[in-house]
Chains A and B, each alone.
Chain A
Amino acid sequence: MTIGNYDNLSCFVPTVKPDVWQSVIWRRHWGRHQAFFLFSELDSHLRAFREKAAAAMPGSDWTPFHLTPGLPPERADIVIVGGGVMGWSVAYWLKRKEQVRNAVRVVVVEKDPTYSQASTVLSAGGIRQQFSLPENIQLSLASADFLKNINEHLNVVNEDPVDLQFNHSGYLFTASENAAHIMEANHKTQMCVGAKVILLSPAQIKERFPWMNTDGVVLASYGLENEGWFDPWTLLNALRRKAISMGVHQCFGEVTGFKSSSHKVETGDGDLLRLKRITHVNVQMPNSLEKQPVECAIVVNTAGANSGRVAEMIGIGHGPKDSMPGIPVPVEPRKRYIYVVHCPDGPGLDSPFLIDYSGVYFRREGLGGNYITGMSPEESEEPDISTLDVDHDFFHNNVWPRLAHRVPAFESLKVSSAWAGYYDYNTFDQNGILGAHPLVNNMYFATGFSGHGLQQSPAVGRAVAELILDGRYTTLDLSALDLKRILYQEPMLERNIV
């Protein structure tokens, strides 16, 4: 873009100019550029003057130093790595629990502003209380309560209310003969903790859900309340909107490393340990080489599928085997497929989220006869995690036969679309990891939920905020899910039906 007139000696005129100088006409005059004030350009002169005056007034963000837009603050109190539903839940609860406004400065660092590969938005969005660990049931119950009253919690003045599209259709788990006793034991635990689940015989299943083929099913458990599915993107945005309105800073950038100070301590048994304390988080700006170290007191690792990598950046996992520093955080990404199928003669509007003992699951999506379905692959057949490409053969070979066996109406269906997403898979015991690492005192974890993170996110956020601000769990005692079980090698496994 060139500005101004040329004279006979015309050559190029400097092309890149800030807006405020557009009104100034440049002429070449004896080899020098001179600026002239032309009355014909009075309008643009006045506009430029007004812009400059507005920039000089307090309240404008013009500074003489050019700051990269979107840079995180130089220091923050708590940096949350990972802007998924878990990270924003922690941020929201931190702000909700602080006694005085702006007591803690919270920054959420998210790598991808489009959330194209985030587990949250690619999730099936189900919520259930049918677990075997009481902690899991309590987390889901508390989260369901939060989601049912979401507008009391996440309403922002003068903005639209939150509509999660929470379908309370319930989960239906089926059990074969050799697993029925596990289902009965789990049912007892669930009733104890307070979940509303009933056990159904095949005849009762046939009564409620005539479209189902009860061949091979000995027992089923059906959630009556607080179970179903909702829209994860809405929940993420509602948490984000509310947290930002309470003063959380959002920064788009990738955490590439940490600066830490370390010192050796001697334990009571005489072992020498190296304790690390994170002092800065290195955030790299998107599409740029620019890095900003954010000085912080506490880091919360909610990076989901990448949590293991983030923990490695601080050195967890680097050390002699079988020593505490040598045990890595066992969270890695695992790819799972979801297929959207269209079947006009399918189970209908009252169909629950069915999870069959063969591993296949499906749920209704919308009101037009669409369903989403999928299956967890065998341990030995884990798909490649480098891309999120969908394997349609998996559907034809593994999902469809089992689905059609359980629901005969699905023998004729059409796959309309499919996507894949990552589980933040905890290879140790497939349950969430909470709490701080003993060797890196100020890194808290809330990760490794292996597919049931979204449904537990509100309650987990509250638990982590309690750990940070109160020093201990005050509402739900989640010490069973603490990180230390990884170091003691004591798994907290779910007794699944399959």
Chain B
Amino acid sequence: MLKILIPTIMLFPTIWLTPQKWLWTTTTSHSLIIATFSLTWFNLNTGTGWYTSNEYLAIDPLSTPFLILTCWLLPLMILASQNHMSSEPIKRQQVYLSLMVSLQMLLIMAFGATELIMFYIMFEATLIPTLMIITRWGNQTERLNAGIYFLFYTLMASLPLLVALLSLQVTTGTLSMLILCYSDPMPFFTWSDKIGWMGGLMAFMVKIPLYGVHLWMPKAHVGGPNAGSMVLAAILLKLGGYGMMRITILLDPLTKEMAYPFIILALWGVIMTGSICLRQTDLKSLIAYSSVSHMGLVAAGILIQTPWGFTGAIILMIAHGLVSSALFCLANTTYERTHSRTMVLARGLQMIFPLTATWWFITNLANLALPPLPNLMGEIMIITTMFNWSPYTLILTGLGTLITASYSLYMFLMTQRGPTPSHIMGLTPFHTREHLLITMHLMPVLLLITKPEIMWGWHF
């Protein structure tokens, strides 16, 4: 674990001591090397269930996929920010990169934490660099509003989490995940226990985001810069899912009854946010709502507490992280050229950018869960386990799949097909960097078709 964490921390001197000419090249290659080394984490071969552990940090089959996704995403974020940061003074570029690296460091420590309090501290700490990235480098005048929504939604919900964790610490004596998995289920019968259950899970539900508390997400995406949207969609949402998976170990068997309204809310959210997508005119807002839709399915899968549910949730989270981040990068390429995120002003792009149309096509197909991509695998697993829990959920999930397919196709047809307006004709061609960025997003998704077992969590 330290052999990845220490190099990440050493990215700070890299940023501040590299000559200006080589700043972006060095940080990109440094983080790419870290990402390559993080692949060794797939080699999980001890018998204890926890690997590469020291007292505070360890990985297990649940956290490995998220950790590797985090490490993989940092070079992509740096690659994506290179263009729009090139006009800023060098100190500000270095601050921006430092914020991203600090976010990376905190995320690695969050996913690798063995103790729930440490996880909580890292979970909260990731808010600060993200807030700075969104409010300082965002695109709109509303980015201040977006930052406030982002910060306070999560903070409001996570204060009860702190209280719940501390009281659990008192009850169980320890909050180390290494030990908790062997503990007996605790007697939770009273009303205050139920409120404690809510407190424990509310923060993660806000982070996922669950449908009723999702309002911060479209604002944060629209108001943030490209790299901010990428890390938000790819990793930070998964923090919520991962935290939910970790803490529900403690909260059994109360989850069986208490989760009911939240599962229904999540499934309803799939349909609602999918329908909102069909009416969106802002491209980034559409992708943000599509994220909420997918993560609603993930939330339902986690709350259902079955092996297939967990596995489906992890697969869908990883696949969605890569695909959603790719969609944001594609939307950003359009934005950098036309200076508008309105879909109606950037149509018929296939005629001018044919290769990019291919990337749009593949990414949108992945978004609508086309077989044999892992998105489908995750969705099918979650839908199956929901069906097992209650056959009526099939109406909701089936309708959700249909709406997902329609808005993904709508996004593709609106941006790529149709007559090319005359003001689009003179756009600058795509850079190799941008093609590389999208390829590096899509290649893992395509490769994961071949060996999805590495993402299956504990049931590998």
A interface residues (Cβ-Cβ under 8 A, vs B): 73-75, 77-78, 98-100, 102-105, 261, 263, 265, 275-277, 279, 295-298, 435-436, 441-442, 444, 467-472
Question: Which residues does chain A contribute within 8 Å of B340, judged by CB atoms?
Answer: 75, 77, 296-298
Question: Which residues does chain B contribute within 8 Å of A99, judged by CB atoms?
Answer: 344
Q: How far is the CB of A102 from chain B (nearest CB, A)?
A: 7
Does B40 count as interface, using CB distance less than 8 angstroms? no
Contact flag A74-B281 (CB < 8 Å), given A263-B428, A279-B339, A441-B425: no
Q: Check if A297 sits within 8 Å of B421, measured CB to CB.
A: no
Partner of B422, one of A75, A277, A295, A436: A436
Question: Which residues does chain B contribute within 8 Å of A444, judged by CB atoms?
Answer: 423
Question: Which residues does chain A contribute within 8 Å of B342, judged by CB atoms?
Answer: 77, 103-105, 297
Question: Which residues does chain A contribute within 8 Å of B47, judged by CB atoms?
Answer: none
Given contacts A77-B345, A297-B345, 17 further A-B contacts (CB under 8 A): A74-B140, A75-B339, A75-B340, A77-B342, A100-B279, A102-B281, A103-B342, A104-B342, A104-B344, A296-B340, A297-B338, A297-B342, A297-B346, A471-B347, A471-B348, A471-B419, A471-B422
Contact flag A436-B339 (CB < 8 Å), given A98-B344, A263-B428: no
Separation of A470 and B427 alpha carbons in the complex (Å) = 18
Near A by CB (< 8 A), chain B positions 134-151 give 139-141
Question: Which residues does chain B contribute within 8 Å of A78, judged by CB atoms?
Answer: 345
Does B426 count as interface, using CB distance less than 8 angstroms? yes
Separation of A295 and B347 alpha carbons in the complex (Å) = 19
Question: Which residues does chain A contribute within 8 Å of B346, judged by CB atoms?
Answer: 297
Q: Check if B419 sits within 8 Å of A73, measured CB to CB.
A: no
Q: How far is the CB of B214 from chain A (nearest CB, A)?
A: 19
Identity of the chain B residue whose Cβ is nearest the Cβ of A275 in the assembled complex? B426
Separation of A276 and B281 alpha carbons in the complex (Å) = 26
Q: Check if A103 sits within 8 Å of B281, measured CB to CB.
A: yes
Q: How far is the CB of A251 from chain B (nearest CB, A)?
A: 14
Identity of the chain A residue whose Cβ is nearest the Cβ of B423 in the assembled complex? A442
Separation of A265 and B428 alpha carbons in the complex (Å) = 10
Contact with A along B299-317 (1 / 0, CB 8 A): 0000000000000000000
Q: Check if B279 sits within 8 Å of A471, measured CB to CB.
A: no
Q: How far is the CB of B276 from chain A (nearest CB, A)?
A: 11
Separation of A104 and B141 alpha carbons in the complex (Å) = 17
Contact flag A468-B339 (CB < 8 Å), given A77-B345, A103-B281: no
Separation of A153 and B244 alpha carbons in the complex (Å) = 54
Does B420 count as interface, using CB distance less than 8 angstroms? yes
Question: Which residues does chain A contribute within 8 Å of B279, judged by CB atoms?
Answer: 100
Main DSSP-derived SS at the B contact region: loop
Question: Which residues does chain B contribute within 8 Å of A102, judged by CB atoms?
Answer: 281
Q: How far is the CB of A66 from chain B (nearest CB, A)?
A: 14
Question: Which residues does chain B contribute within 8 Å of A472, judged by CB atoms?
Answer: 419
Contact with A along B362-384 (1 / 0, CB 8 A): 00000000000000000000000
Q: How far is the CB of B278 from chain A (nearest CB, A)?
A: 10
Q: List 28 A-B contacts (CB under 8 A).
A: A73-B141, A75-B140, A77-B340, A100-B279, A100-B280, A100-B281, A103-B344, A104-B281, A104-B344, A263-B428, A277-B426, A277-B427, A297-B340, A297-B342, A298-B423, A435-B422, A436-B423, A441-B424, A441-B425, A468-B345, A468-B423, A470-B419, A471-B347, A471-B419, A471-B420, A471-B421, A471-B422, A472-B419
Q: How far is the CB of A313 from chain B (nearest CB, A)?
A: 18
Q: How far is the CB of B363 from chain A (nearest CB, A)?
A: 23
Nearest 4 interchain pairs by C-beta: A297-B340, A103-B281, A441-B426, A471-B421
Separation of A441 and B428 alpha carbons in the complex (Å) = 12
Q: How far is the CB of A166 from chain B (nearest CB, A)?
A: 34
Q: How far is the CB of B217 from chain A (nearest CB, A)?
A: 19
Q: Check if A75 sits within 8 Å of B139, measured CB to CB.
A: yes
Separation of A73 and B280 alpha carbons in the complex (Å) = 21
Contact flag A441-B423 (CB < 8 Å), given A104-B342, A279-B339: yes
Separation of A98 and B281 alpha carbons in the complex (Å) = 10
Separation of A261 and B426 alpha carbons in the complex (Å) = 11
Contact with A along B276-291 (1 / 0, CB 8 A): 0001110000000000
Near A by CB (< 8 A), chain B positions 408-440 give 419-428
Separation of A385 and B161 alpha carbons in the complex (Å) = 73
Identity of the chain B residue whose Cβ is nearest the Cβ of A98 in the assembled complex? B344
Q: How far is the CB of A73 from chain B (nearest CB, A)?
A: 7
Near A by CB (< 8 A), chain B positions 334-357 give 338-340, 342, 344-348
Separation of A298 and B338 alpha carbons in the complex (Å) = 8
Q: How far is the CB of B111 from chain A (nearest CB, A)?
A: 36
Question: Which residues does chain A contribute within 8 Å of B345, judged by CB atoms?
Answer: 77-78, 104, 297-298, 468
Separation of A448 and B398 alpha carbons in the complex (Å) = 57
Q: How far is the CB of A201 from chain B (nearest CB, A)?
A: 48
Question: Which residues does chain B contribute within 8 Å of A276, judged by CB atoms?
Answer: 426
Partner of B428, one of A261, A442, A468, A470: A261
Question: Which residues does chain A contribute within 8 Å of B280, judged by CB atoms?
Answer: 100
Question: Which residues does chain A contribute within 8 Å of B425, judged by CB atoms?
Answer: 441
Contact with A along B422-460 (1 / 0, CB 8 A): 111111100000000000000000000000000000000
Q: How far is the CB of A76 from chain B (nearest CB, A)?
A: 8
Question: Which residues does chain A contribute within 8 Å of B419, judged by CB atoms?
Answer: 470-472
Count chain B CB atoms within 10 A of each CB in A74, A78, A100, A444 and give the residue with the most: A100
Q: How far is the CB of A491 from chain B (nearest CB, A)?
A: 22
